[in-house]
Structures are given as structure tokens and as C-alpha cells.
Amino acid sequence: MIHDGDGVREPHRLRAGALGTASITFFVVSAAAPIVAIAGGFPLGMMFGDGAGFAGMLLLCMGILLLFAAGYTAMARHAVSAGGFYSLVARGLGGTAGGGAAMIGLIAYNAMQIGLYGMFGVALRNLLLDYGGVDLPWYLYCALAWACIAVLGYRQVDLSAKILSVLVVAEYIAVLVLDGAILRKGGAHGINLRSFGPLVLSGTPSIGFLFCFAGFMGFEATTIYGEEARNPERTVPRATYFAVLLIGLFYALSMWCLTLGQGVDQLVPHLKSLTDITSFMFDLATRYVGHWLSATMSVLFVTSIFAGLLAFHNAASRYFFALGREGLLPAALGRTHGAHQSPHIGSLLQSALAFVVVAIFAITRSDPVLTLFSWLTNLGTLGIIAAMGLAAAAVPVFFWRRPDIDPGLFRGTLAPVISCVALWTIFALANLHFNVLTGSEGAWNIVLPGLVEAAAVVGVARARQLRFTAPARFSALGFGGSPENNNKAAQAAQHAEKQSWINH
């Protein structure tokens, strides 16, 4: 047994009670990198998608995610684990499907985290070049961020939460200042609600919807911090709903204001005329408030990416930890630090992967934004959509197998089924339009989406292997890996078998 300041704790468990609702919400909101989405991704979504109707599409996307959250949080109350989606899929659809979801989640969170380094390096380089005259290669700035992330991810999780809370609040204040200025001055041609009417379905709405959905990536990671949450049965659902509503309403308000600031009819032509799409928000900040806000946002753009790097690093390291603890990956990954109770080995592995991948892109002189950022973050988005689709499918099955738990018809069946259909439709659209998401053509638009399916195959094969070599561990997949939870897994399996016999 290992002792700490609070007494005796079970070995290789995460630090219980370290995070409240606000801390978890900051983790997932920072993973969404709101100012990066508003400045970079969303203008592309408006240009290639539904133009001025983009703000309304964001509300539609938020509604679908709230449906997903209804079933997701209903089941998460009974499946608290650092494995996130994997744990829910294993508990609902069985260990074999859980193995596939595990590897999809693993590749998704690592791809999202590593891809962000490309944008970070370029953003910090441009900032220091514009305001300090310093011109260094982008990968040196990546190395600086990498060292900070490696240290923070290795240490106690509440330290990361405190840093993220400061960065996220600063982002929101800056964008809201711009929103308020545009509304106060009446925009370019007065205030109107056209963005929330028929314009939502104008242009190519399917592409606009994909960019909307990508902006929410990270919110679903609330369950990953379940083991470290105070009162997880209440904290995780609250954080999930808060995150979806906070992100969605903030996005919709901000994109509506930016649309008004440029003018509904002038929006798309103006976006197409820009050589740098990210200048759209900064130009409006200068026009409606002043250069000081544009300069502040330039700094926050960099810190927003850093916040996303840290949030996805924490998510990926906990996936490594959960899968190592339960036998899908080497057992060493399932250990926690003696003092920090952090998944330190998983953190070190994630840092090592990031270092190697970024180094490869730097050595090959690939464009850090058009390749490293665009390819990997869109691969990560695709993987997270697939994992969410599997989790949504797992919810009604889980409650069907556990008739002693009654979440209600809406949360237990209707909401997850509707969101499951929507998520797999989004997954199909993302595969179909992957070249639009990456902004490039070529074989990579086939290879990268194929990695999601390949990860699922590897995960299924590993779970099947575990089923024959260690059946007790296989039956406990999704339960957290401790002897106590292994007993719970056996009891749950027996209970489900008994209930199935009774019902038939």
C-alpha cells in the first residue's frame, strides 16, 4: 500500500477528489480551444459551408450534442473510469467492441494533441516576429511548449486545471469584448437574426456542419476525469452539460456577431478575398475596438493552443493509463506516480510520441499547418466522432441489460439512439469530405481516415486475444482494473445473465 497525506490509498489509482465541476469544465473547454476555432476553423466553415447561417448551424450542432450528453451522462454515472468512451463501450457492447473503441480513442486523442503543435509553433513564431522582431524556426517554439506540457502532465492534475482556468477565462473575456462592441455599434448594416433562419441550410450545409462539430471536440472528455472528480456521479454530468452549453452558446453568439460585423451579404465574398483566413477576426477587432484588442487576441490565440495541448495531453495519458491497467496495453502504463498520483508513465509515453512525430515533420520540412496540424487534428476529430458513435450505441444496450437501473425512456433510449444515428451520419460525411477538412488533395485523404478503422481492428484483435489468454481480465474490461472492480465486473456479468434468463 502507498501512503499519502490523506492516509492509505490503493496503489496505481488516480488522485481521487482532486477536481470539481469547474475544473473539469475548464479542461474540456480548453481542449476545444475556442479562440482558435473562432479565428481559424469557423471562417473556413462559413466560406466552404453555409456562410452567414453558420451561427445557426452551431446551435443545431449543440442540440445534437445535448442529446448525446443525455444518454452519455446517464450511463457515465454507473461507469466511472479514466477510460472515457472505451469504458462505456466495454460496459455496454462488451469487451471486444470496447477494445476497438479503446484504440480509436487512443489514436484520436494523441493525433489531436500532436497536431496542435504545428499550429502552436507557427502562431508563436508569427507573434514574436510581429511584435519582437525575433525569427526562429517553428519547431523550436514547439520544443518549448513540449517541455512545459511534459512537466505539467507528469505532475498533479489540479496544477494543470488552475493554469487552464486562467487561460480560458482570458479567451472568453477578449472575444466577448469584441462581441459587445459589434452589437453596440450595430454591426456593418444593423442588427438582424438572418443567421438563424433559412440561411442555415444555404450553400453546402453538410460541410458547415462538419466544421461546427469539429469546434466542440474535447467536450466529451469529462468522463476521463471521473476517477479524479469529487462526487463523480454528479460532477461529471454537470461538467458535461456545462461544457456543451458554454461552448455552444459562446460560439453561436460570437459567430453571429462576427457575421454582423462584416455584413451578412458581404461575408463570404470577403472571406474568399483574404490571403490569411485567420485575419478575419483580428481585423474586426481592430476595426470595432482597436489594435490593442487585436494584439491581445494574438497572444490569447497562442495561449489557447497551449491550453488545448495540455488538455489533450492529459486525456491521452489517462487513456494510456486506463488501457495499461486493464491489460489492453503493457501493465507499466497502468501505474501512477507515488507522490502526484498522476498517470506519469502514460504522460511520458505521450510526450515521447509527440517529440518523435513533430521531429519527423520538422526534419522533412513539411508545412506545420497544412500537414502536421491539418492532417492530425482532422484524423483526431474523425476518431472522436467514431468513438462517440460507439458510446451512443452502448447506452441503450447497457440499460437493456440492467433493468434494475431505470434512467427513463428519453435518457436511456430515445436520446442515445437519435444521437447515434446523427453521429454516424456525421462520420460518413467527414469521410466523404475529408479533403475539405484538411484543405488538401491526394492519397492522404484515404490513408488518414483508414487509420481509424485500422485502430479499431487492432483493438478488437487485442481484446479477443485477452479473452482467450486472460478471460477474467477480459470480463473486467471497462471496470477500472482493480481487484475490487474486477469483482464488480463478475457480479455485473452474473446479474445481466440472470436478468436475461428471467426475461426470457
Query: Distance between CA 258 and CA 225 in Å, rounded?
Result: 34
φ/ψ of residue 3, rounded to 5: -105, 145
- Residue 6 forms part of a structural domain: no
What Rg, from alpha-carbon coordinates, does the chain have?
22
DSSP string, 61-122: HHHHHHHHHHHHHHHHTT---TTTHHHHHHHHH-HHHHHHHHHHHHHHHHHHHHHHHHHHHH
Residue 236 in any domain: the answer is yes
Whether residue 23 is predicted with pLDDT greater than 90 in this model: the reply is no
Residue 495 scores a pLDDT above 90: no
Q: Which residues of 77-95 are buried (b: 16+ CB within 10 A; e: fewer)?
A: bebbbbbbbbbbbbbbbbb
pLDDT at residue 5 tops 50: no
Residue 177 has pLDDT above 50, yes or no: yes
Q: What integer best gives the mean pLDDT of the chain?
A: 83
In the chain, the largest separation of any two C-alpha atoms, in whole Å, equals 75
Q: Which range has highest mean pLDDT (10-14, 18-22, 67-71)?
A: 67-71
Coil/strand/helix, residue 462: helix
* Look-up of cell digits 500537414: 371
- Name the 3-class secondary structure at 8: strand
- Confidence tier at 8 by pLDDT (50, 70, 90): very low
Please tell me the predicted confidence (pLDDT) of residue 11: 43
Residue 315 binned pLDDT confidence (cut-offs 50, 70, 90): confident
Determine the distance from the C-alpha atom of residue 259 to the mean position of all C-alpha atoms in its chain, rounded to a whole number. Answer: 26
- Other beta carbons within 10 Å of 392: 28
Q: Residue 237 corresponds to which cell in the numbers above?
A: 454530468
pLDDT value at 204 more than 90: no
Residue 404 is placed in which grid cell? 434494475
- State the pLDDT at residue 368: 92
- Nearest alpha carbon to residue 184 among 246, 249, 261, 252: 261
pLDDT tens digits, one per residue of 269-310: 999 998 888 889 999 999 999 999 999 999 999 988 888 888
Structural domains counted in the chain? 1
Residue pointed to by grid coordinates 517541455: 147
Give per-residue pLDDT as tens, 101-143. Answer: 999 999 998 999 999 999 999 999 999 998 888 889 999 999 9
Least confident interval from 212-221, 235-244, 401-410: 212-221
Structural domain includes residue 9: no
Domain annotation covers residue 289: yes
Q: Is 399 inside a domain boundary?
A: yes
- What pLDDT is recorded for position 502? 39
Q: Which domain holds residue 56?
A: 17-503
Sequence letter at residue 47: M
pLDDT of residue 82: 52
Q: What pLDDT, on a 0 to 100 scale, did the predictor assign at position 344?
A: 80
Cα(429)–Cα(451) distance, integer angstroms: 17
Specify the pLDDT at position 250: 93
320 pLDDT more than 60: yes
Q: 32 lies in a domain?
A: yes
**pLDDT score of 88 more than 70:** yes
% of the chain at pLDDT higher than 70? 82
Of the pLDDT bands very low, low, confident and very high (cuts 50, 70, 90), residue 19 is: low
| Domain of residue 131, CATH code | 1.20.1740.10
Task: Report the predicted TM-score, pTM, of the whole model to 2 decimal places.
Answer: 0.83
Does residue 144 carry a pLDDT above 90? yes
Q: Are 391 and 88 in contact (CB under 8 A)?
A: yes
In a domain, 316, yes or no: yes
Q: DSSP for 119-165, please give it.
A: HHHHHHHHHHHHHH-----HHHHHHHHHHHHHHHHHS-HHHHHHHHH
Would you say residue 9 has pLDDT above 50? no
Q: Is the pLDDT of residue 485 over 50?
A: no
Mean pLDDT, residues 7-11 taken together:
39
CA 435, CA 252: separation in Å to the nearest integer?
A: 25
Mean pLDDT, range 385-393, rounded to an integer? 92
User: What average pLDDT does this structure show over 404-430?
Assistant: 91
Residue 7 lies in a domain: no
Q: At residue 493, does pLDDT exceed 60?
A: no
- pLDDT tier at 314 (50, 70, 90 boundaries)? confident
Average pLDDT (353-379) is 92
Q: Is the pLDDT reported for residue 444 higher than 60?
A: yes
Question: Per-residue pLDDT averaged across 81-100, rounded?
Answer: 83
CA pair distance 107, 386, nearest whole angstrom: 12
φ and ψ of 398, to 5 deg: -60, -50
| Tens of pLDDT, residues 28-80 | 776 677 888 898 889 988 998 899 999 999 999 999 999 999 988 888 777 66
State the sign of the Cα–Cα–Cα–Cα dihedral 26, 28, 30, 34. negative
Residue 236's pLDDT is 75
Q: Is the per-residue pLDDT at 487 higher than 50?
A: no
The yes-or-no verdict on residue 2 having pLDDT over 50 is no
